[in-house]
Amino acid sequence: MQHPQLLIEPDALLLSADVARVCAVTPEAVRKWSRSGRLLSVRTIGGTRLFRGSDVLRLCEARHAQAATR
C-alpha cells in the first residue's frame, strides 16, 4: 500500500479533512495550523479552507523528520 503523501499532487488543492488524513491528525489540528500560519490556506467564497498539495507535503515531511529525531 502506498503512503498517502505519495498520492498528493503538488498543485492539488486539498480540504482540511484530506490534509488531516494524509498527516494523520484531526481536522481541528489542520485548522489550528492554518490559523497559526504554520500551513497556508486559501478560502473559498463559502469560507472553506483549501491547502496546496506542495505546502501539505512540506509540512508532513517536516513533522516526519521532527518525529524521527525524538
Q: What is the largest CA-CA distance in the chain?
A: 41
Give the dihedral sign, CA 27/63/6/39: positive
Q: Walk along the chain (70 residues) and give the pLDDT tens digit of each residue.
A: 445 555 788 889 999 999 999 888 999 999 999 999 999 999 999 999 999 999 999 998 888 788 778 7
SS3 content of the chain, % helix, strand, coil (to 5): 55, 10, 35
Delineate the domains of the chain, giving CATH numbers in brackets.
4-68 (1.10.1660.10)
CA nearest 49: which of 63, 32, 25?
Answer: 32
The pLDDT score that the predictor gives to residue 3 is 54
The pLDDT score that the predictor gives to residue 2 is 45
The pLDDT score that the predictor gives to residue 6 is 54
The pLDDT score that the predictor gives to residue 36 is 96
Terminal-residue alpha carbon distance, the chain:
26
